[in-house]
Amino acid sequence: MNWSSFFIYNRYSHKFVTSMIAVILCPILFFAQSQIHIREFSPTQMEAKSYNAAFFKFVTIGYWPAAVDWMWIQTIQVAGDKNYPQKLVPSVRFFYEIATDLDPKFYDLYEQSGVLFSFFFKDPADAAHLLEKGIHSFNAFPKTSEKVKGWSHPFTLHLLLAYVYSFQMHDWAKAKECFLSAAEVPGAPKYLQNMKFWLEEKGSERILARRVLNALIQNSTDPVLKSQYEEKLKAYD
């Protein structure tokens, strides 16, 4: 094969140019990613504004899903650790924010961030922000899309948000709203839809606390989280 003729013939092809850029940049991006660790990365306010979704889409020349997966892997490593120092909060928040901006339909990012910030970092404000962001994303795209079908239990975002508002922010009015909105999510269990009859009754806050915890226990696949829910439930017996 005459490589000179090949390059001359293809040099003006858009796909060819893009492929050549990818061949050159991908090893550089891979090396850069291998050198950036979430525990060592602490973005300044200026960097946080500069390193936005548009920036990552540009530098990855369209291969931004790989960047999202890389950020997700970094956050999973934090979630699976035994120590959760507060100094990590800005970098972890940054990674989740960028990843969900790049791929707003990535359900696991929202649920994982809600659990990580509320239970382990004890940061209800960031937990509420990312859970609400996930709920907004779910409501924004067509319910018939394949991506929605990939969200196996989106009502859990509402339940986690109800937990944050009730047990961490002590805003029971907001918690009730979250519980009611959970019942309206397609595929929500019937026990969530039956709660409207007692939510306005006197002493419903205590009932609500038990219902939220029981719902989270039933839907939890993490034994550590499940035991924490069960421990909190004992206080409402």
Q: Residue 181 is part of a domain; what is its CATH number? A: 1.25.40
Phi, psi dihedral angles at 140 (to 5 degrees):
-85, -25
Q: Is the dihedral of CA 213, 215, 218, 223 positive or negative?
A: negative
Same domain, 136 and 197: yes
Q: Residue 24 sits in which domain range?
A: 14-103
- Which residues touch 192 (CB under 8 Å, ≥6 apart)? 155, 179, 182, 183, 215
Residue 22's CB is within 10 A of a number of other CB atoms, namely 14
202: which 2 tokens? 């006197």
Instruction: Give the model's confidence band at 149: pLDDT under 50 very low, under 70 low, under 90 confident, else very high.
Output: low
Q: How much is the pLDDT for 35?
A: 44
Q: Is the dihedral of CA 157, 162, 167, 170 positive or negative?
A: positive
Can you point out the beta strands (E) in the chain? none
Q: How much is the pLDDT for 66?
A: 80
Q: What is the pTM of this model?
A: 0.72
Query: Does residue 2 belong to any structural domain of this protein?
Result: no
Same domain, 94 and 168: no
